[in-house]
Amino acid sequence: SLLLHQLNIAKKSFNQLNNGSFTKRNFYKLRLDRNKKIKSILYQDELSVDKFLMDSGIFFCTGEINDNLCNLTISELLYFSMNDSKKDVNMLINSPGGSIMSGMAIYDIMRCLNTKINTISVGLAASMGSFLLAVGSPGGRFSFPNTRIMIHQPIGGIQGTAIEVEIQIKELLYHRNNINYILSKSTGQTISKIENDTDRDKYMTAYESKEYGIIDEIIGEGCGENVDKANFAVETTRSAYVDWIDIRYVE
């Protein structure tokens, strides 16, 4: 369709040139009209692709999880469930995380839908992104082999008066305990282990996250490197680290 539009424009240009009406002003106007038509065609193609994917039950949760992404994801899920509630939802997640409340809003809607929610991580699923990955329907949580998955405790910037800081700290601790409880139910790990592992950023490969219980299966298993974590273990106590003062360099 794009090629046909370009041919029609070229034909129109040729006719104007033969009629003597192809002035410099008409040339720029014609080029502007052509660019608008091309953009319109590309935009329509983009919309048709998005509609095709959504009708197939494929949704994207990519980028920072904020209010805009939350509203878009919720509206698409509700629209899909009202039109065809028998199909599975396949949510592809590639996110560094973001707002706790936006992520919890998506989680609540996922729980309310009368359909299976398959979560699929690609690229990076960190923080709230890994949380949404873990809360997918049992047996429907997937990851590609080279995806990185990270869990940690909630992060928040707090300022204000002493009383306001105390209120915000209590709110942050509530979210931490609530997220740890949900992760414990979803992964099968104890709450104490979740608390210990999320005390700092914990990065995992797809294989490690499968052992941990965040995902159920790895898509295309064997296409990625199953790194032996023992070879890359990092000590977590100060006494286990090297005393750099005693290092002697050998030429």
Q: Any idea which residues carry the catalytic annotation? A: 127, 152
Determine how many CB atoms are found less than 10 A away from the CB of residue 82.
8
Buried b or exposed e, range 83-97, using 16+ CB within 10 angstroms: eeeeeebbbbbbbbb
Give, in order, the Cα–Cα distances in Å from 163 to each of 156, 166, 172, 177: 16, 5, 14, 21
Interatomic CA distance for residues 34 and 6, integer angstroms: 7
C-alpha dist (Å) from residue 135 to 40, 180, 186, 216: 39, 12, 6, 11
Say if residues 142 and 119 touch (Cβ distance below 8 Å): yes
Per DSSP, 26 falls in state: H
Q: How far is 36 from 33, CA to CA, in rounded Å?
A: 5
Q: If we measure between CA atoms, which residue out of 57, 73, 62, 70 comes closest to residue 117?
A: 57
* Nearest C-alpha neighbor of 128 from the set 78, 82, 170, 69: 69
How far apart (Å, rounded) are the C-alpha atoms in residues 108 and 237? 38
Size of the chain, expressed as the number of residues it contains:
251
Strand partners, 95: 125
